[in-house]
Structure 1
Amino acid sequence: MEVWEPGITLINLKTLLLTAFLTCTLLVLKAQNLKKMENNQQDSLAISQGLENYYFKEIYEGDVTVLGSIFNADTLLFGDVKGQPYAKTLDQYLDGVAHRQSPKDSGKPFKGTIISIDVVNSIAVAKVHVKMYEFNYDEFLSFHKINSRWVIVTKMLTDVTE
């Protein structure tokens, strides 16, 4: 004849329930982290494609309409060029691009390189290197995801020796 011992069964049941709860919690947290990593990878890829297909391409070709589309209208640009302070609004920057000979038309070397992209929620920073004319620029581009679209909100640059 089997004897039922309620204290032992209750302890085993509590242990089983606690184990099941912790296992489910860990699985949910892991799934959330995977989702976050996937989102960061998707966002990094979107920023990378924007830099390659719009930013670098249009700095090279000089199409300010397309180049302007990757910027927020209120973007500000800061830095130094040949040791001199550099501060412009987006309109001033695009006007300068429109009125200069494009690297493409000049036949001079041009290369844009993405060094890194860091994404946190709806903000990101990309470090890029741009070689054009006699300049080598290191740039930090701040992005914000607005209406499901990544746009540059701040550009900081400095010319460096190669």
Structure 2
Amino acid sequence: MYQEHIKDIETTISNYFEGIFNGDVHKLNDCFHSSVVLFGDINGATYLKSKTDYLEGVKSRQSPKDLNETFKMKIIGLDIMGDIAMAKLHVPMLGYNYYDYLSLNKIDDKWVIVGKIFTHVA
């Protein structure tokens, strides 16, 4: 059973990576629950956004793909218990060395991101 969960979670995360890298807000929108909140720390500055604000930011910036960056995003760890999961990701892009922690939940038979915290590590 967990193998099926792993595959489905990896698909959601892959879509998340592709959405970020390509600036595809439609793909990102499908990855997130409507009530998701995104918290982070970027060089000591607190980052807090709603899904709508986050997607607007992605839409208004140049994507890593447009900037000819190399895709280096990867899953570092995954912990699944029932219909919840935590994923630790390495997301280097746009001159930052981001680490994301995603909370995922299986809702209506689909794995979605219900929370995101992240930081930049110099």
TM-score bin, normalised by smaller chain: over 0.9
Match in the other structure for 1:3: none
| Structure-2-length-normalised TM-score | 0.96
**Quick check: which one's helix share is greater?**
1
Q: Show CA shifts across 1:114-135 (max 9, x none).
A: 0011111111000000010110
Asked if 1:61 corresponds to 2:22, the answer is yes
Q: Show CA shifts across 1:42-82 (max 9, x none).
A: 10121112212x11111011110111101001100001011
Match in the other structure for 1:42: 4
Q: Which has the higher contact order (CA 8 A, sep 6+)?
A: 2
Aligned-residue identity in percent: 43
Q: Which moved more, 1:122-131 or 1:110-119?
A: 110-119
| Structure-1-length-normalised TM-score | 0.73
Match of 2:103, as an amino acid?
S
Match of 1:75, SS?
A: strand
Match in the other structure for 2:43: 82
Misfit runs of 4+, over 4 Å: none
CA radius of gyration, larger in:
1
Cα-Cα RMSD: 0.9
Note the residue ranges of structure 2 that are not aligned, 5 or more in a row. Answer: none
C-alpha separation in 1, matches of 2:115 and 2:7: 19
